[in-house]
A = this chain, B = another copy of it.
């Protein structure tokens, strides 16, 4: 019995890849969904894992269980190492061996990683935040710096351990800064005996003239004031020129800081290299208005991996709702191509609004026709994010964790685990 159903390979189980798979799962097709991780990650809340607020499992869902009842969806846990656009195959390394997977249609939705603008050696000193491992490593570094400050024997050592620098004033940087300031000023406030965590210095460095440049200027200014009220120092028009172990140089000033985080730029995943395509400066593939790749029949690139100006003349932004819409759209395009129907209307990004939070109470929201700030924006942000969380259990437990930390100011996930901790335990075992 030969399989005549079209095979659609989707690489990446982020917002774009999931939306494409969902749009096609009801059709008479076979879908192969490939990801290096076994879980879909709800990235907008990742900073809350990094700041000891939520547990990783609360913002992640196993890809297999999302599609468990869709028998035409096969999930492969593996890394794509190349694409042969002529033979129409994808090469996958599943950890055991290399596989060649044939496709009729290929959707690349591999997202982006941090970009250090040519200084990739900075990553060791100023890690970015894209995966659960990133978040746990940052949480460990952050909590350990307070522990080290408690044990410091000189003012210089103590001050360096109590200095936290966040590079980049986009939504991730702003949300990290606000959440860390509150961690120090509330959750940790009474827990140490030799230091006052409230004296921790949280520094947000932005190269441009304002934070949150995708928002209206009044909201940027309001967000800056909210951060400053929480005790964050915001340095605008300030460019990082060096990152080293425990120090960052911004402009001419060298700042001693045990914790440095990078939220300044992203670079697209290697889809362009697989296809041997030209990209923009951020490594994104320049796609046709239907997200297809010129010269590669049957190949589509969406989400943070692609760059496109939509039918309304607007550059599609690198945000979750845009990736979802692109995934759904490409699913429809592929379905019509298979059925021989007329193509859907050109893609047009629908902007439902833009929100960000600053700490536990302040938020800003911009819906074009209306924009506002304050506690209402915060609550709206919370409701929207809980609503979009993958499954019932995550919604419930995240709601409870939020409510709990809202009422008590405590943080539920203040665990130091992982590499650094393991190293010190190993050392100790060695001395036994």
Query: Which interface class (under 10, 10 to 19, 20 to 34, 35 or more) fits A?
Result: 35 or more
Question: Which chain B residue lies CB-closest to A404?
Answer: B393
Cα A397 to Cα B397 in complex, Å, equals: 6
Identify the stretch in A72-80, A207-215, A325-333 within 8 Å (CB) of chain B at 4 or more residues. Answer: A72-80
Query: Is A415 in contact with B56, judged by CB distance below 8 angstroms?
Result: yes
Task: Return chain B residues, CB-CB under 8 Å to A428.
Answer: 36, 79, 81, 93
Query: Is A39 in contact with B96, judged by CB distance below 8 angstroms?
Result: no
- A64 contacts B by Cβ under 8 Å: yes
Query: Is B96 in contact with A190, judged by CB distance below 8 angstroms?
Result: no
Cα A212 to Cα B78 in complex, Å, equals: 40
Query: Is B392 in contact with A397, judged by CB distance below 8 angstroms?
Result: no
- A289 contacts B by Cβ under 8 Å: no
Indicate with 1 or 0, residue by residue over A302-324, a CB within 8 angstroms of chain B CB atoms: 00000000000000000000000
Cα A427 to Cα B94 in complex, Å, equals: 12
Cα A81 to Cα B187 in complex, Å, equals: 31
Instruction: Report the minimum CB–CB distance from A136 to chain B (whole Å).
Output: 8
- A133 contacts B by Cβ under 8 Å: yes
Max count, chain B CB within 10 A of own CB: residue among A57, A190, A408, A414: A57
- A199 contacts B by Cβ under 8 Å: no
Find A393's partner among B69, B144, B188, B412 (CB 8 Å cutoff): B412
Identify the stretch in A147-155, A234-242, A366-374 within 8 Å (CB) of chain B at 4 or more residues. Answer: A147-155
- A422 contacts B by Cβ under 8 Å: yes
Assuming the contacts A79-B427, A428-B36, asked whether A415 and B60 have C-beta atoms less than 8 A apart, the reply is yes
- A173 contacts B by Cβ under 8 Å: no
- A270 contacts B by Cβ under 8 Å: yes
- A29 contacts B by Cβ under 8 Å: no
Query: Is B415 in contact with A77, judged by CB distance below 8 angstroms?
Result: no
- A121 contacts B by Cβ under 8 Å: no
- A417 contacts B by Cβ under 8 Å: yes
Instruction: Report the minimum CB–CB distance from A139 to chain B (whole Å).
Output: 10
Assuming the contacts A393-B400, A412-B393, asked whether A58 and B56 have C-beta atoms less than 8 A apart, the reply is no
Query: Is A401 in contact with B410, judged by CB distance below 8 angstroms?
Result: no
Find A38's partner among B152, B408, B414 (CB 8 Å cutoff): B414
Identify which of residues 103-161 in chain A touch chain B, using a CB-to-CB cut-off of 8 Å.
132-133, 136, 143-144, 147-148, 150-153, 157
Indicate with 1 or 0, residue by residue over A50-83, a CB within 8 angstroms of chain B CB atoms: 0000011110101011001101001111110100
Find A417's partner among B77, B97, B133, B415 (CB 8 Å cutoff): B133
- A253 contacts B by Cβ under 8 Å: no
Residues of A within 8 A of B (CB): 36-39, 55-58, 60, 62, 64-65, 68-69, 71, 74-79, 81, 93-97, 99, 132-133, 136, 143-144, 147-148, 150-153, 157, 187-188, 190-193, 270, 273, 392-394, 396-397, 400-401, 404, 408, 410, 412-418, 421-422, 424-425, 427-428, 431-432
Other A-B contacts than A55-B58, A62-B414, A270-B432, 15 sampled, CB-CB below 8 A, are: A36-B425, A37-B416, A38-B415, A55-B55, A57-B415, A65-B187, A65-B414, A68-B190, A76-B151, A77-B147, A77-B416, A79-B427, A93-B427, A95-B148, A393-B408
Interface CB pairs A-B, < 8 A, 18: A36-B424, A38-B415, A56-B417, A64-B191, A65-B191, A65-B410, A68-B190, A75-B193, A77-B151, A79-B425, A81-B428, A96-B148, A136-B417, A273-B432, A392-B404, A393-B401, A393-B412, A400-B400
The 9 closest A-B pairs by CB, nearest first: A64-B191, A55-B55, A57-B413, A79-B428, A393-B404, A68-B190, A62-B414, A38-B416, A55-B57
